[in-house]
Structure 1
Amino acid sequence: MATDNNNKVLNVPNLRFPEFTEEWRKYKVSDVLDFYSTNSLSWEQLDYNNEDLYNLHYGLIHVGLPILVDIEQNKLPGIKTECKPKNFELCKEGDVAFADASEDTNDVAKAIEFVNLNNHKTICGLHTIHGRDNKHLTVLGYKGYAFASPLFHNQIRRIAQGTKIYSISSKNFAECYIGIPSKDEQSKIARLLALIDSRIATQNKIIEKLESLIKGLCSFLFDKNKYDSFVRLGDISEITNGNSDVQDASLSYSKGMYPFFDRSNDVKFLPEYILDKESIIYPGEGSEFYPRYYNGKFALHQRCYAIYDISRNFKPKYLYYFCKTQNSYFVRNAVGSTVASLRLDTFKRLNIPHVPIEVQETYVQLLDKIETKIIDNKAILKKYEEQKKYLLSNLFI
């Protein structure tokens, strides 16, 4: 909240459009929303080919749907004819739906708002809480973002119940508050955040197209049917696993620390390194096996592998791009019933197409240009996401 010249705390956010000066009003969420019953249909009872009655499953709130849901752009599954419930409340535009359970307290009460149903019959399903502003205190789109703000979720974290799975009920909304300004200010806030969300969606599509392009080019360039000469990876490189554990790693960098690679996509840091080499790094367990390239000092998880000291007849980046096409090989040769794991011999036996170094250089130059574009566009995406996070933290009370 902000203060005036006399240090009086005002019911206004830290950041707002300059034309608005009046204070906001705070309401209990239960005074803003009326709640309706939902069904408990599982995924097995839903069907994307049935459009008679759409059903919102809580899993789609956690993964897949944006904050503002347009039914024409954000596909929902239908309900199988034999599973259609007898009694239900149809959603209206402006209705919100919360996920009532999650393994992460940050995702309990994660919400979406329906902004365009286009006359499609839609109901809320398993592990959702269906709310409606029957008092018309809010404009279309405002609630979705207000319920996505850290200020709201900080309240939810304090009241969410459970040990492994955290949950809430509609009764908990009597303990939570939401700030509501004039409808004109609501509209400007919702419009700004919707524009940023639209730009984030566009940026994700750009990245998806570039990743699809590099995947297609790699598949074409490294099609093994085009080659008649191969060498084994173990004959042209050194391969080792790491010696560090994730519990010793830090999520933030400080001076004297080195990148630490494990099977996650996040880079962590350790105060010591295992190799100072141009390397191809692989997760040693998981459901998918894709490489990453690094040149310099780094630490490595004990269940990850590094491929290094590569023969002069092979460019490391050539091997890296080839390995990006070999996920199916590693999945097929992984062992273990609970967690699929890779063994050293699996790497050693991998057949590498042997082509002249000049051809390798051509491949690398082409693929490097696309990968650089992917990296640059991911950096742009991160900036937009940071901007949205900042606005959600400062535009609400």
Structure 2
Amino acid sequence: MNLHYGLIHVGLPTMVNLTKDKLPNIKEGNMPKNFELCKEGDVAFADASEDTNEVAKTVEFFNLAGKDIVCGLHTIHGRDNKNRTVIGYKGYAFSSTAFHNQIRRIAQGTKIYSISSKNFSECYIGLPSKPEQTKIATLLRLIDERIVTQNKIIEDLKKLKSAITDLLFHSIADAHTIRLGEIAHITNGAGDVQDANTEHQKDWYPFFDRSEELKWFPTYSFDKEAVIYAGEGQSFYPRYYNGKFALHQRCYAITDFASCIIPKYCYHFMNTLNSYFVRNSVGSTVPSLRMDIFQKVEIRLPPIPKQQHICKIIDAFYTKLEVEQRGISILQELKQFLLSQMFI
């Protein structure tokens, strides 16, 4: 099996456990002539990255499950030949802030930063006693495993929310269909992203553009409950906001809803319409949306009590997702804190 450097950057945890993690097989005829099979406790570094924080990103082979592994191109294979470390310690030690501060100083390049095996003669890590190494490695590995579990919880929750949302909207018996342009006002924004700021400013207002990152603007254009769409992109999902905000020129705000529809219901329903907007978008390089696409979109409209019931259920999923996502953020912050404080 082949450890590709791209898998070190994205796809593998610090501790590689081949009873759970997957590696690609080397095709017949492509086996390198000279290679060293990896052993449990070996480490592998990615030797290059566009980000200095990712140069020498490390994984350690925690459990090979009896499989033969070869490190591929753009990786550096490391082994503790003097048996001074326990399995599981090195991967985290080489992921620590103290180690990466050293790597950033010696990485070479302008657009792509790289290191070679010779660079490691200039680097060091602290080696406590083996019992202490075991405690450190076990704690960080358990946090990593909890992060994996938490990610699985979030993904399953998203799938459940999507399935129940589709069921709720497709099982409406007493609904009629109406075009969005007949029950709401649709308009473009007027703000320029050059006037926005990515950092929160006092007395500035939320600014929505095509990116998911929230920005801030010195003035506001709307003070309403709104469903907001980016006018360009590869996919089209709405955002909901209630209050004062500014909007980019190529974005749309759906406001001033008729009494027959709850704005939050409109937001949840339009979350199911990505395929409609992708299908009707124009342009080849950057798909974009026109005003008439929004005017013509059809909304299934049940009575207000039914809309309230649907919103209550879906909002509960969003609340649960926020709680679980906060949980994973706390775990990731804890891991980064430990990596910055436990290794010197």
TM-score by length of 2: 0.92
Q: Does 1:162 align with 2:104?
A: no
Report the CA distance shift for 1:217/1:145 in structure 2 as closer, same or farther (over 3 A): same
The question of whether the paired residues in 2 share the 8 Å contact of 1:281 and 1:291 is answered with: yes
Aligned counterparts of 1:342 and 1:392: Cα–Cα separation in 2? 45
Structure-2 separation of matches of 1:256 and 1:347: 32
CA contact (8 A) 2:174 2:303 kept: no
Match of 1:41? Answer: none
Superposition deviation, residue 135 in structure 1: 1.8
Question: Is residue 331 of structure 2 the alignment partner of residue 357 of structure 1?
Answer: no
Structure 1: where are the runs of 5+ without partners?
1-53
Matching residue of 1:223: 170
2:321 to 362, 370, 374: 374
Q: Partner of 2:94 in structure 1?
A: 147
How many residue pairs are counted as aligned between the two chains?
Answer: 344
| Matched ranges for 1:207-356 at <5 A | 207-223=154-170, 229-356=176-303
Give the CA deviation at 1:264: 3.1
Distance 1:306 1:365 in 2: 23
Residues 7-43 of structure 1 show CA distances to partners (whole Å, capped at 9, x for unaligned) of: xxxxxxxxxxxxxxxxxxxxxxxxxxxxxxxxxxxxx
Match of 1:179 among 126, 130, 133: 126
Residue matched to 2:330: 383
Q: Could you tell me whether the CA contact under 8 Å between 2:175 and 2:303 is conserved in 1?
A: no
Q: 1:369 to 1:71 in 2, by over 3 A?
A: same
In 1, Cα distance between equivalents of 2:255 and 2:273: 18
What runs of 5+ residues in structure 2 fail to find an aligned partner? none
Query: Matched residues in 2 for 1:150 and 1:243: separation?
Result: 43
SS at match of 1:293: strand
Q: Tell me which residue corresponds to 1:22.
A: none
Of 71, 93, 97 in structure 1, the residue corresponding to residue 40 of structure 2 is 93
Q: In 2, are the aligned partners of 1:224 and 1:353 still within 8 Å (CA)?
A: no
The AA in structure 1 aligned to 2:197 is: S
In the alignment, which of 10, 14, 17 is matched to residue 67 of structure 1?
14
* TM-score normalized with structure 1 length: 0.80
- Which stretch of structure 1 is more off in the superposition, 240-249 or 88-97? 240-249
Q: CA, structure 1 residues 235+209, in 2 after alignment: closer, same or farther (shift >3 Å)? A: same
CA contact (8 A) 2:76 2:117 kept: yes
Classify 1:240/1:79 alpha carbon distance in 2 versus 1 (closer, same or farther; 3 Å): farther
Runs of 4 or more consecutive aligned structure 1 residues displaced over 6 Å after TM superposition: 224-228
Q: Is the 8 A contact 2:191 2:248 kept in 1?
A: yes
Kindly provide the amino acid, as one letter, of the partner of residue 255 in structure 2.
Y
1:105 to 28, 48, 52: 52
Task: Pick which of 66-75 and 242-251 moved more.
Answer: 242-251
Structure 1 letter corresponding to 2:230: P
Report the 3-state secondary structure (helix = DSSP H, G, I; strand = E; otherwise coil) of the residue aligned with 1:76.
coil
- 1:32 maps to what in 2? none
Q: How big is the alpha-carbon RMSD for the aligned residues of Structure 1 and Structure 2?
A: 2.2
After TM superposition, list the pairs within 5 Å mapping 1:121-132 onto structure 2: 121-132=68-79
Cα distance per residue 1:297-340 (max 9 Å; x no partner): 22333333222222221111111111221222222223333323
* Cα deviation digits, residues 317-370 of structure 1 (max 9, x gap): 111111221222222223333323223322222211122112111111111111
Question: Percent of aligned positions with the same letter in both sequences?
Answer: 61
Q: SS of 1:119's equivalent?
A: coil
For residues 54-94 of structure 1, give each alpha carbon's deviation from its aligned partner in whole angstroms, at most 9, with x where no partner exists. Answer: 21122222222111111111111212224333332211111
8 Å Cα contact 1:227/1:353 also seen in 2: no
- Given the superposition, is the C-alpha separation of residues 226 and 140 from structure 1 closer, same or farther in structure 2, using an over 3 Å criterion? farther
| Equivalent residue, structure 2, for 1:8 | none
Given that 2:229 and 2:238 are in contact with CA atoms closer than 8 Å, whether structure 1 keeps it comes out as yes
> Which residue is equivalent to 2:153?
206
Q: Kindly indicate whether the alpha-carbon contact (under 8 Å) linking 1:232 and 1:350 is maintained by their aligned counterparts in 2.
A: yes
